[in-house]
Amino acid sequence: MKAIIMLFICYLILMLPSQTSAQQKVPILVYHSIDEYKGLGSKELYVTPENFEKQMIYLRDHGYTLLTFERWKDIENVKKPIFITFDDGYKNNLNAFATFQNLTNEQFKPNGTIFVISDFIGRSNRLSNSEIKKMVDSGIISIQSHTATHPDLTKINVFEKELKGSKDTIQKITGKPVIALSYPYGNTNDKVIAETKKYYSFGLTTTPELFTKKGIKEELYLLPRIYIKYSTTLDEFAKIVEGK
């Protein structure tokens, strides 16, 4: 009997790490503008460079590993994985890039993903080809797709330009594979997912929760993301990423 009990205890000990891993919660955060708010657009879609830096320092000091979708499988292998994403490709995302550069050292190598609207590249308030190439070549930023013109994909019938067209445009600029799509407005459905799967390995929504593996159908095309807003305090940020 004692031998059986000991075997059972050993089994539980061996199983605990995989059980914990299965329940791992991975934050995927979404930002838009990293800039001072000057009265244009929605204030909550801005995060000041000062606050963004404080948030990234929090992640550094609390042992997070910032990943891009090229390293998705590393969520199983690194300590406290997190994804920092930006939608729309605003020129002020260069402020985030500068923060990542300033904080990079041997112990902390921050990375982020910017989802650009390919037809908007080069507009006065959007990233240019050369800025995109510079960030990608640094190894710090991954550039992925937010479609060609930012339509609600659940309301269109022709997808090739928005999905394949944007992917091709971005890949020509960066020379790197485009594997992830951020759905405009976070909207998707079965048809959109079926079309997205033709060209991408990941689809991102704005469902406000941390990612956990649930084993559901099309899980990688229903990735949740949590908005970080102008009004998000550092305490609130900490609770978000810690899943509290």
* Rg of the Cα atoms in the chain: 19
pLDDT at 5: 45
CA 209 to chain centre: 13
In the chain, count H helices and then E strands: 8, 10
List strand residue ranges (DSSP E) for 98-234, in order: 112-116, 141-145, 180-182, 202-204, 226-227
Pick 27-242's CATH classification: 2.60.40.10, 3.20.20.370, 1.10.10.10, 3.30.428.10: 3.20.20.370
Could you tell me which residues come within 8 angstroms of residue 114 by beta carbon, excluding any fewer than 6 positions away? 85, 86, 89, 93, 127, 132, 135, 141, 142, 143, 144
Widest pairwise Cα distance in the chain: 76
Q: Is the pLDDT of residue 15 over 90?
A: no
Q: What does the pLDDT average to over 14-40?
A: 77
Q: Is the pLDDT of residue 110 over 80?
A: yes
SS3 category, 223: strand
SS3 category, 134: helix
pLDDT at 24: 86
Tokens of 115: 């989802």
pLDDT digits (tens, 9 = 90+) for 122-140: 999 999 999 999 999 999 9
H or E stretch at 155: none
pLDDT digits (tens, 9 = 90+) for 160-209: 999 999 999 999 999 999 999 999 999 999 999 999 999 999 999 999 99
Tokens of 37: 């708010």
* 1 confidence band (pLDDT: 50, 70, 90): low
pLDDT digits (tens, 9 = 90+) for 145-154: 999 999 999 9
Q: Where are the domains of the chain?
A: 27-242
Shortest CA distance to 117 belongs to which of 193, 41, 32?
Answer: 32
DSSP 69: G
Cα angle at 123 between 122 and 127, to 5 degrees? Answer: 50
168 vs 12, higher pLDDT: 168
pLDDT digits (tens, 9 = 90+) for 55-101: 999 999 999 999 999 999 999 999 999 999 999 999 999 999 999 99
